[in-house]
Amino acid sequence: MEHCKTPLTLAEKILAAHSEGEADGTLKIRIDQTLTQDATGTMAYLEFLSMGIPKVRTSLSVSYVDHNTLQSGFENADDHIFLETVANKYGIVFSKAGNGICHQLHLENFSRPGITLLGSDSHTPTSGALAAIAIGAGGLDIALAMAGRPFRLPRPRIVQVRLTGRLRAGVTAKDVILELLRRLSVKGGVNKIFEYTGPGVETLSVPERGTVCNMGAELGATTSIFPSDSRTREFLRMQGREADWKALSADEGAKYAETIEIDLSSLEALAACPSSPDNVRPVRELEAEGVKIDQVLIGSCTNSSYLDMEMVASILKGRKIHNSVSFGINPGSRNVLEMTSGNGMLFDIIQSGARILECTCGPCIGMGQSPCTNAVSVRTYNRNFLGRSGTVSAGVYLVSPVTAAMSALSGHFTDPTGTSENLAKYPKPEEYINDKSMFIQPDYSGDVVMGPNIKPLPRFDALPDTLEARILLKTGDDISTDHIMPAGAKVLPYRSNIERISDFCFMNVKTSFKKEALENAAVGKASVILAGRNYGQGSSREHAAIAPRYLGVRAVLAKSFARIHRQNLANWGILPLEIPDELYESLQEGAALKIDTSALEKNEVRLLTDGGECVIRTSFTAEEVRNLRAGSLLNA
Ligand code: MIC
Ligand code: SF4
- The Cα 143–Cα 155 span in angstroms is 21
Q: How many angstroms does the Cα of residue 167 sit away from the middle of ligand 1?
A: 30
Q: Is 410 a catalytic residue?
A: no
Atom of ligand 2 nearest to the CA of 39: 7
pLDDT over 70, % of the chain: 99
Per-residue confidence band for 265, with pLDDT thresholds at 50, 70 and 90: very high
Over range 66-85, report the average pLDDT.
98
- 0.85 exceeded by pTM: yes
User: Is 326 assigned a catalytic role?
Assistant: no
The ligand 2 atom nearest the CA atom of 304: 8
Which ligand 1 atom lies nearest to the CA of residue 564? Answer: 14
Question: pLDDT tens-digit profile of 401-418?
Answer: 999 999 999 999 999 999
The whole-angstrom separation of Cα 527 and Cα 529 is 7
Supply the pLDDT for residue 24: 82
Task: Tell me if residue 22 falls in helix, strand or coil.
Answer: strand
Sign of CA dihedral 75, 217, 174, 232: positive
Asked if residue 287 has its Cβ within 6 Å of ligand 2, the reply is: no
Cα radius of gyration rounded to whole Å, the chain: 24
The response to whether residue 215 sits with its C-beta less than 6 Å from ligand 2 reads no
What's the pLDDT score for residue 1?
Answer: 43
Mean pLDDT of the chain: 97
Q: Quick check: CB of 40 below 6 Å from ligand 1?
A: yes
Task: Measure 272 CA to ligand 2 centroid, in angstroms.
Answer: 17
User: Is the CB of 487 inside a 6 Å radius of any atom of ligand 1?
Assistant: yes
**Beta-carbon neighbour count of residue 199 at 10 Å?**
12
What share of the chain in percent tops pLDDT 90?
99
Q: Which of 541, 549, 563, 566 is catalytic?
A: 541
Kindly identify the ligand whose nearest atom is closest to the C-alpha of 126: 2
Reply yes or no on whether the pLDDT at 378 is more than 50.
Answer: yes
Average pLDDT over every residue of 457-466: 97
Query: Is 39 near ligand 1, meaning CB less than 6 Å away?
Result: yes
CATH 2.60.200.30 for the 466-630 domain, yes or no: no
Distance CA 152, CA 145 (A): 10
Q: Please state, in angstroms and rounded to a whole number, the distance separating the CA atoms of residues 188 and 576.
A: 20
- Using the atom order of ligand 1, give the atom closest to the CA of residue 37: 11
Catalytic-role residue among 18, 67, 106, 231: 67
pLDDT digits (tens, 9 = 90+) for 288-344: 999 999 999 999 999 999 999 999 999 999 999 999 999 999 999 999 999 999 999
What are the phi and psi torsion angles at 385 (to 5°)?
Answer: -65, 155
For ligand 2, is residue 123 a contact (CB within 6 Å)? yes
Domain coordinates in residue numbering, the chain? 10-266, 270-410, 466-630
Query: Same fold for the domain at 10-266 and the one at 270-410?
Result: yes
Find residue 282's DSSP bridge partners. Answer: 270
Give me the DSSP letters along 491-546: TGGGTT-HHHHGGGTTTTT-TTHHHHHHHHHHTT-EEEEEE-SSBTBS---THHHH
- Could you check whether the bond before residue 275 is cis, i.e. omega within 30 degrees of 0? yes
Model confidence at 3, in pLDDT bands (50, 70, 90)?
A: low
34 vs 579: CA distance, rounded Å: 34
Class of the domain covering 10-266: alpha beta
CA proximity to 380, closest of 295, 323, 320: 295
Interhelix angle 230-238/206-216, nearest 10 degrees? 100
Q: Is the pLDDT of residue 2 over 90?
A: no
Ligand 2 centroid to 360 CA: how many Å? Answer: 8
Which of these is catalytic: 32, 38, 79, 121?
A: 121
Q: Is 121 a catalytic residue?
A: yes
In angstroms, the Cα distances linking 547 to 248, 525, 541 are 42, 17, 11
DSSP H helices in 10-97: 10-17, 38-49, 74-90
| Contact status, residue 66 vs residue 360, Cβ threshold 8 Å | yes
Shortest CA distance to 72 belongs to which of 493, 494, 497?
493
209 is catalytic: no
Residue 383 among the catalytic residues? yes
Are 172 and 207 in contact, with CB atoms under 8 Å apart?
Answer: no
| Cα–Cα nearest to 77, from 89, 69, 86, 85 | 69
Average the pLDDT over 138-147 and give the result: 98
Asked if 549 is an active-site residue, the reply is no
Longest dimension (CA), the chain: 72
Q: What pLDDT is stored for residue 584 in this prediction?
A: 98
How many whole angstroms from 247 Cα to the centroid of ligand 2?
30
Per CATH, the homologous superfamily of domain 270-410 is: Aconitase, domain 3 (3.30.499.10)
pLDDT grade for 493, boundaries at 50, 70 and 90: very high
Contact 1, 31 (CB under 8 A): no
Nearest in space to 397 (alpha carbons), one of 476, 281, 488: 281
583-636: pLDDT as tens digits: 999 999 999 999 999 999 999 999 999 989 999 999 999 999 999 999 999 999
- Cβ 359 vs Cβ 334: under 8 Å: yes
Inter-CA distances, 244 with 46, 105, 155, 239, 412, Å: 32, 16, 28, 10, 44
Bridge partners, 615 (sequence order): 606
What's the Cα-to-Cα distance from 12 to each of 15, 22, 29, rounded to whole Å?
5, 13, 12
List, for residues 201-213, the tens digit of each pLDDT value. Answer: 999 999 999 999 9
